[in-house]
Amino acid sequence: AQSVTQPDIHITVSEGASLELRCNYSYGATPYLFWYVQSPGQGLQLLLKYFSGDTLVQGIKGFEAEFKRSQSSFNLRKPSVHWSDAAEYFCAVGESGGYQKVTFGTGTKLQVIP
Amino acid sequence: DTEVTQTPKHLVMGMTNKKSLKCEQHMGHRAMYWYKQKAKKPPELMFVYSYEKLSINESVPSRFSPECPNSSLLNLHLHALQPEDSALYLCASSQDGTETQYFGPGTRLLVL
């Protein structure tokens, strides 16, 4: 069965600093990988996704993620964090080959300090 | 337009009440999903509809009853809920089962 691990429950960064959120997945075949962001009490917004091709994926709001098959990782990065980036971030893996089930990690809460 | 709408935004109900949650999308997506999210937890899949047919039920109690009247609309009928069912209920849709899921803002449900 597929699974996702986000080892950092809570991360605090200063505004303007760089950010990296870690995500490790477990899946037998080539996965579909996603990063979603959720502000308090809101739905999930898709930041970026990886299905195949270039392993460095660009997303919205200046985020990018890199797929590393050898490390089973899909870490999210941003060079300069803004206060509005404070939110919960979920990494997710979907089964490839046309199935609908997406499994979410437990999330990383990002706090941004001035 | 990648918008999924959900109504109501908030709902308070007693354990003997019957209520419904509504989800709508006009993106021509043919797969729609219900998720339940408890505080500080990731979303958990409840149901998947594909081409208006129920294709996945993640062993959800029968007090939750999904309905897909047409390709744009998804309902979740609630009856005899328990306080532990209080959560944020999220709807999502995708082009088909293989594509990216787009989420609505959710309905925050409180069962008293």
- Whether the CB-CB separation of A23 and A36 falls below 8 Å is answered with no
Identify the bridge partners of residue B66 per DSSP, sorted by sequence position: B76
Mark yes or no for CB contact A43/B97 under 8 Å.
no
- Residues B74-88 have pLDDT tens digits of 999 999 999 999 999
Residue A89 CA to residue A38 CA, distance in Å, equals: 6
Q: Which amino acid is at A111?
A: Q
**pLDDT for the residue B4:** 95
- Residues B49-78 have pLDDT tens digits of 989 999 889 899 999 999 999 989 999 999
pLDDT for A80 beyond 80: yes
Task: Please state, rounded to an integer, the average pLDDT across all residues of chain A.
Answer: 91
Residue in chain B lying closest to A33 (CA): B100
A44 contact B CB<8A: yes
Residue A57 CA to residue A50 CA, distance in Å, equals: 7
Mark yes or no for CB contact B103/A43 under 8 Å.
yes
Which of B4, B41, B50 is closest, CB to CB, to A100?
B50
- Residues A32-56 have pLDDT tens digits of 899 999 998 788 999 999 988 889 9
Estimate to the nearest angstrom the gap between the alpha carbon of A43 and the chain centroid: 15
- Give B8's Cβ-side CA count (13 Å radius): 9
What's the pLDDT band for A101 if we cut at 50, 70, 90? Answer: confident
**pLDDT for the residue A100:** 65
- Whether the CB-CB separation of B76 and B65 falls below 8 Å is answered with yes
Substitution target from A32, A44, A50 for chain B, most B beta carbons within 10 A: A44
Q: Provide φ and ψ at A83, rounded to 5°.
A: -55, -30
Task: Please state, rounded to an integer, the average pLDDT across all residues of chain B.
Answer: 92
